Amino acid sequence: MKSQDPATGLSVFNPFGLAAVLAAIGLILVVLRSPSYLVYDELAYLPGARFLVEGHGLRELILFSPFIPTGPLHSVIHALAFPLTGLEAPRVRFVNCFLLFMSWLAISKTLMMVGMQQAYLRAATIIAVPMIWVTTGMALTEIPAMTFASFAAVATAWAASLPTRQWKIWVGFGLAGICLALATLGRQLYLPAVIGFLLISVFDRRLRWPALMASIVTCALVLPLFLTWGGLVPPRTSQVAGGLSAAHGFLAVCYLGIVILILAPAYFFERWRWSIAAGIIGGLVGLAAGNLGLDIAAGISGHLSPQLANVFQRIASGAFVGAASAFTVASLVNMWARRDDSFFMLNMLMMGGLTLTAAAVAHQFSSRYVLTAFPFAIFAVQPYFRPTLFAAARLLLGAVLGYFLLNNYLSRPQESAPQEKAAMEIYVPSRSEHSAPKSVRPPAQMDFPTRDLVRDCAIVQNRSNCV
| Per-residue pLDDT tens over the stretch 232-291 | 877 766 555 567 778 888 888 989 999 999 999 999 998 889 999 999 998 888 887 766
pLDDT confidence of residue 129:
95
Return the pLDDT at 66: 55
Sign of CA dihedral 238, 244, 248, 254: positive
CA 275-267-189 angle, 5° bins: 100
Spans of all domains in the chain: 15-39+89-234+370-377+385-410, 246-362
Q: Which range has the worst mean pLDDT, 145-159, 346-360, 431-445?
A: 431-445
> Amino acid identity of 236?
R
The mean pLDDT value for 64-86 works out to 85
What is the chain's mean pLDDT, rounded? 81
Average pLDDT in the 108-130 region? 94
Quick one: what percent of the chain has pLDDT higher than 70?
80
Residue 302 has a pLDDT of 63
Confidence of residue 435 (pLDDT cuts 50, 70, 90): very low
| CB-facing half-sphere around the CA of 396: CA atoms within 13 A | 12
Mean pLDDT value of segment 188-203: 91
Write down the pLDDT at residue 71: 85
275-281 own/partner pairs: CB under 8 Å, 24+ apart: 275/326, 275/329, 275/330, 275/333, 276/326, 277/329, 278/325, 278/326, 278/328, 278/329, 278/330, 279/322, 279/323, 279/325, 279/326, 280/322, 281/325
Confidence of residue 56 (pLDDT cuts 50, 70, 90): confident
Least confident of 29-33, 111-115, 161-165, 215-219: 161-165
What is the gyration radius of the CA atoms in the chain, in angstroms?
22
**At what angle are helices 130-137 and 142-160 packed, to 10 degrees?**
120
Measured CA to CA, the distance from residue 84 to residue 91 in angstroms comes to 8
Least confident of 47-61, 99-113, 322-336, 436-450: 436-450
pLDDT tens figures, 88-98: 989 999 999 99
Q: What percent of the chain has a predicted confidence (pLDDT) above 90?
A: 47
Mean pLDDT for 304-332 is 84
Q: What is the pLDDT of residue 228?
A: 84
pLDDT of residue 318: 85
Q: Supply φ then ψ for residue 160, to 5 degrees.
A: -70, -25
| Amino acid present at 403 | Y
Q: Say yes or no to pLDDT of 436 above 70.
A: no
Residue 25 has pLDDT above 90, yes or no: yes
| Residue environment code for 402-417, b if the CB has 16+ CB neighbours within 10 A, otherwise e | bbebbebbbeeeebee
Query: Of residues 30 and 296, which shows the higher confidence score?
Result: 30
